[in-house]
Amino acid sequence: MQEYKKKNILIGKNLEELQNWTQINGETKFRGTQLFEWVYKRGVLDPKQMTNISDKFKNLLENECIFSTIKLEKLSTSNNNKTIKYLFKLKDNQFIETVSMIDGKFHTVCISSQVGCNVDCKFCATASMGFIRNLTAGEIIEQLIYVRSNVNQKITNVVFMGMGEPFMNYDNVLKSADIFHDNLGFGLSAKRITISTAGIVPKIQKYIDENRNYNLAVSLNAPTDKQREKIMPINMIWPLKDLIRVSNEFSIGKRKNIMFEYVLLKGINDHQEDAINLMNLIKGINSKLNIIPYNETDGIYKRPKEQEIDNFIQILLKNQKKFGYRVLVRWSKGQDINAGCGQLVVNN
């Protein structure tokens, strides 16, 4: 660990940072561009395999630098082989989970942004860990590098919906998203990158002010403040009126749909009255409404029965054109390996 601290960690640096680093170390700015492409576009983390750089520069990279910050500890594959959950060990012996999901031609990777989480949503397994620390940009990026190198199907989508609250690690999350989007990096379209938040209103406002183009998903999970405060204590800091206001501002400013996520919890937020209140809450906002039947963990919350889920969804479907939203239903994949939405947790 001491040796690790003394070396330069290059993974996680953006193009400008790599260009500056190479110039400080007696190389050209172009060498920084080459490094950026080797690491992010090609996923090469071993300087020996970087064929177009000099032996002198390779020696510097091998002796003075670190390219890898995570190590695979365990791999779990779902029964249908379409969902894989990765348990990664970090250099400080902490752990995170990442999920690869294949659905036809789409390959979505759900990545973590924190070890644990400090938002404390009561129904989310990650919350039981408490907050340990933010991930570095390198630790976030290397999750995607590993999946890309070990799954044959091309990655089409990245979602910041793994462990942690992305907007509580704003700078590192946006830095990694920018590298995912960069044509010299991963080359993913902005519309293929989604950042989810439990509702950190000031950071959503910052996101808007910075004119960010990545998709934004907001976890509502209840149609009233009273209900939401019981399952999402963050609502006591930023209530629904503030969250809806800033969400509408994003939708109008970007001229694109914002996604509202709503986890259905039996007896908590799944009544027909809740569906009606939800419609009125988001009325007039150009949005996608993503309904997520709860994925059960060891906690007290339960998944509604299929008929209850259907009744809730039907109310929303009948009124979607009138109220200006579009209903989607996310039947989470990988529940058999605890890789579904809200199931990621590491118990040491």
Asked if residues 234 and 119 have their Cβ atoms less than 8 Å apart, the reply is: yes
Cα 261 from Cα 271, distance rounded (Å): 17
Q: Tokens 């989970």 — which residue?
A: 97
Q: Which two tokens stand for residue 306?
A: 């299929």
Cα 123 from Cα 316, distance rounded (Å): 23
Mean pLDDT of 78-85: 85
Q: What is the pTM of this model?
A: 0.92
- Percent of the chain having pLDDT more than 70? 93
> What confidence score (pLDDT) does residue 337 get?
46
pLDDT digits (tens, 9 = 90+) for 272-308: 999 999 999 999 999 999 999 998 877 789 999 999 9
pLDDT digits (tens, 9 = 90+) for 236-262: 999 999 999 999 999 997 667 799 999
Where are the chain's structural domains?
A: 2-66, 70-337
3-7, 40-44, 98-102, 290-294: segment of lowest average pLDDT:
3-7
- Residues annotated as catalytic are 97, 341
* Residue 245 φ/ψ, nearest 5 degrees: -60, -50
Angle at 274 between CA 239 and CA 325, to 5 degrees: 80
Half-sphere exposure of 265 (CA within 13 A, CB side): 24
Q: How confident is the model at residue 341 (pLDDT cuts 50, 70, 90)?
A: low
In this predicted model, which residue has the larger pLDDT, 137 or 329? 137
Nearest residue to 82 (alpha-carbon basis) of 345, 332, 343: 332
Kindly list the distances between the CA atom of residue 46 and the CA atoms of 39, 124, 147, in Å, as whole numbers in the listed order: 9, 37, 17
Which amino acid belongs to residue 108? T
Pick the CATH number of 70-337 from 3.40.50.720, 3.20.20.70, 3.20.20.240, 1.10.3720.10: 3.20.20.70
Evaluate whether 2-66 and 70-337 have a shared fold.
no
2-66 CATH fold = DNA polymerase; domain 1 (1.10.150)
Helix (H, G, I), strand (E, B) or coil at 109: strand
Q: How confident is the model at residue 332 (pLDDT cuts 50, 70, 90)?
A: low
Cα 203 from Cα 211, distance rounded (Å): 12
Handedness of CA 240, 241, 246, 251 (dihedral sign): positive
> What confidence score (pLDDT) does residue 343 get?
45
Cα 121 from Cα 247, distance rounded (Å): 20
**93's torsion region: left (phi>0), alpha (psi -120 to 50) or beta?**
left
Cα 286 from Cα 323, distance rounded (Å): 9
